[in-house]
Amino acid sequence: MIEKPLSPEDVDFVTTLHGEERISFVVLLQPRGDQADVLLRAIDDVAMGELKEAVREGEEPEGGEAREPAEIGLEYSLRALRQAGAEAVGQVIEEHPLDKLKTVVEDAGADEVIVLTAPHYVEEFFHRDWASRARHKVGVPVLKLFAHSE
């Protein structure tokens, strides 16, 4: 699960986690604008010392406006994973991401889930972040990684 396109560092990181073993990915992207409350994102930005980002949180596209950039970001991420030698398919999820994740894990026979997001301190503190919630839902190990910044 991701919330923004994978950076080259992210692609390198996730494709080398298991050494030389051939791996495949089912990438689920939920646009950040749809997943979190603007106030929580702003608090996270302040906690990380990114005051300028906190001010811009209201500019994050949401709803229908977030769909096209998310689809472009997903395609970019899938292409990068394939170029790194992995098999990769994916989709943008707009509602119920953890329900979709559970279905994908079951249908694909996944060995593990990787949740790759920016830090969300408020949600993590209350165990309301994707990784914490997924651990109780999907039935396979969940690895939480922090995405690299642009």
Q: What is the mean pLDDT of residues 98-124?
A: 86
Does the pLDDT value for residue 115 go beyond 70?
yes
- Return the pLDDT at 147: 84
- Return the pLDDT at 132: 81
Task: Give the integer Cα–Cα distance in Å for 100 and 104.
Answer: 6
- Return the pLDDT at 117: 84
Dihedral (CA of 68, 97, 91, 111) sign: positive
- Return the pLDDT at 148: 77
pLDDT tens-digit series, residues 91-103: 999 888 889 999 9
pTM: 0.77
Q: What is the mean pLDDT of the chain?
A: 80
Task: Give the integer Cα–Cα distance in Å for 140 and 56.
Answer: 36
Does the pLDDT value for residue 109 go beyond 80?
yes
Across the strands, what pairs with 87?
A: 24
Nearest-10 Cα torsion for 67, 73, 77, 83: 120
Q: How many CB atoms lie within 10 A of CB 110?
A: 18
77 or 48: whose pLDDT is higher? 77
> How, if at all, do strands 87-92 and 24-29 pair?
parallel
> Are the beta carbons of 115 and 1 closer than 8 angstroms?
yes
Does the pLDDT value for residue 55 go beyond 70?
no
* Region for residue 6 given its phi and psi (left: phi exceeds 0; alpha: psi -120 to 50; beta: otherwise): beta
Q: What is the mean pLDDT of residues 9-16?
A: 94
| Lookup: tokens for 133 | 């919630």
Does the pLDDT value for residue 20 go beyond 50?
yes
